[in-house]
Amino acid sequence: MKKFFILFVLGMFIISSVSADIIILKQPQKVYNLGSILNIPIKINALNDIDDFLSASIVCQGFQREIHKEYVSLETGEEKEIEVSTPIRINLLGSFKKKCKIKFNLSGKYVLSDDFLVSNVIHINITNKKTKFAPGEPLLIEGSAIKEDKTPVNGFLNLSLTNKKDNSSKIIFENSVSEGYFYTEYELPKDLKAGDYDLVLKVYEKNNLEEITNYGEFFSSILIKQVPTSLEIILSSSKIEPGTETQVKVILHDQTGEAINSTSLITIKNNKGNAMTQKEVQTGEPLNFRIKEDEPPSQWIIHAKSGELYNTLKFDIAEKQEIKIDLLNKTLLIQNTGNVPYNKTISVKIGDEVKYIDVYLNVGESKKYALSAPDGKYMVVVGSQGKDKFFKNDVALTGNAISVREQSINIGEIIKHPVVLGFIIILFFVFMVIIKKNYKRSKSFFKHKKLKELKKSIKEKKIKKQEYSQRDRPLSKIIDKGNLANLSLTIKGEKQSSTVVCLDLKNYDELKSNKNSIEETINKIVFIAEKNRAYIYEGKNSIFFILIPSITKTFQNEKNAINIAESLKKILD
């Protein structure tokens, strides 16, 4: 009985001490980001009269701070709903992730909410994922930024590139993020170095104190392509001496001037435009070429092509005065081995005596000089402008005095010889007799031939006149000059291999009916043919230009034929 009384008294004490019930009407959501508003509605049921303060505190892993305090005055049995609302700030919790709950306390009774997470994390998603770009190409960035509590970001975007090779960083641009969406376009610098880059996209929000609250990063790798931008030709010297070997090198540069491994076609042309050397080589590797010893001074040009890039470089062939000296027995042979005429004074020292000779030699020309001295052996030294070119010991010479004289054919001395003079006189009389006989014979022959050709010409004119009256006017009527060729059957003549250029006329009828409009053009064509000693023959729809060796005086007519063809094309174009 005593024990029951004690329990009853304690129960009444407890009941009397509990003055209200605190009911959480809506539990907090599972995650909140910094800057979000925390709203938790509660209801208070007064079990006894209440006249006290309601306090709400946020408790995060041992850290507790009051966020709400309100005076509550209720009579027994009354109810009241209260909404606890507070923003989640940095100075309240810090910028790191924490598990928290809300603690409500009223008149000694407290209630805890469910756990929730306070975060500062932003999740970034990129919709376009292109990974290779060329310098100067637009870099498009599009995507979404959502905070961990599933609310959209309204903040800022920052993009940077870092070269993986040298860790050089470059901030590309900054932009804004609105309602969780961002889209930006930025043109990459044209001089951006090629290579692999780390792309870092940062999205963040700030509070009114310019403090970063929520933050997110997106990492990706992109490749900046190496793009050829220039082609450089490197030559050892702008003036090259003939007879020497020279190196030329081609360097292909990218957008930052770095060398690119590729191939290049190098063509070296002389002053006439003829290709002297042409070869495809690796860029950066030297191409050796040699200039001939007798190549005349002129300006050459180097053409280099790699892909779509092209460059040229001019260089000069230097003048080179040089001679070669040989001593054969008693004869001094001097040959011009340079590329310009040699015009200098040469010193020839025989023993102790020096003789000077003025030497003028065209390119490739040589002259001989006879050395003489009183009988004996001598040291011979040949020099030019103080520089010794040649010397030889113990040269056996003969003569009355020391001398150096040029060897040449002396017509006067030859004629003075009786045998030679008699032979020349006999040849002269024989020649005169032959000329006299041939003159009489040819005079009668040409007279007869001229009469025969005159009769033949009259006959041919009559035949042609009849033919022209029966058919349309041929194109040859347009031509007012030129060597016209005619076909004829004959058992006489000489077979020759000839070169022919054909001009095909598709508008033959139009040309025949419009003589005045094309006469000037046709005569220009005929002039080109005459200039190259070509005979003209008219076909049905064509004009043939015939290069006959007996007329052109050469069997090498192909080049002239090409020249005629090119000239015709230019005129007609």
Q: Express each pLDDT in 111-160 by its tens digit.
A: 999 999 999 999 999 988 888 999 989 988 899 999 999 999 999 999 98
Q: What is the pLDDT of residue 433?
A: 75
Tokens at 320, concatenated: 């080179």
pLDDT digits (tens, 9 = 90+) for 468-497: 443 344 444 445 445 666 555 555 566 778
Q: What is the pLDDT of residue 508?
A: 64
Q: What is the pLDDT of residue 538?
A: 77
Confidence of residue 10 (pLDDT cuts 50, 70, 90): very low
Mean pLDDT across 518-544:
78
- In the predicted model, is pLDDT for residue 16 greater than 60? no
Q: What is the pLDDT of residue 457?
A: 61
Confidence of residue 462 (pLDDT cuts 50, 70, 90): low
CB 216 within 8 A of CB 122: yes
Q: What is the pLDDT of residue 329?
A: 80
**Among the listed ranges 163-177, 199-213, 237-251, 264-278, which one has the minimum average pLDDT value?**
163-177
> CA–CA separation, 45 vs 454, rounded Å?
149
Mean per-residue pLDDT over the chain, rounded: 81
Mean pLDDT across 38-56:
92
Ordered structural domains, the chain, with CATH: 17-119 (2.60.40.770), 122-224 (2.60.40.1930), 230-317 (2.60.40.1930), 323-414 (2.60.40), 472-572 (3.30.1360)
Question: Residue holding tokens 């004009």?
Answer: 543
pLDDT digits (tens, 9 = 90+) for 213-260: 899 999 999 999 999 999 999 998 889 988 888 999 999 999 888 899
Tokens at 60, concatenated: 């995060």
Q: What is the pLDDT of residue 14?
A: 41
- In the predicted model, is pLDDT for residue 167 greater than 80? yes
Mean pLDDT across 393-415:
73
Q: Among the residues of 352-417, which ranges form H helices? A: 411-416
Q: What is the pLDDT of residue 389?
A: 65
What is the residue type of 363?
V
> Which among 278, 249, 369, 264 is positioned nearest to 308, based on CA atoms?
264
Looking at the chain, the whole-number percentage of residues with pLDDT higher than 90 is 33
181-187 β-sheet, strand order: 122-126, 138-147, 181-187
Q: How far is CA 517 from CA 168, 331, 481, 510, 542, in A?
A: 72, 71, 17, 10, 18
**Among the listed ranges 120-124, 395-399, 460-464, 495-499, which one has the minimum average pLDDT value?**
460-464
Q: What is the pLDDT of residue 5?
A: 45
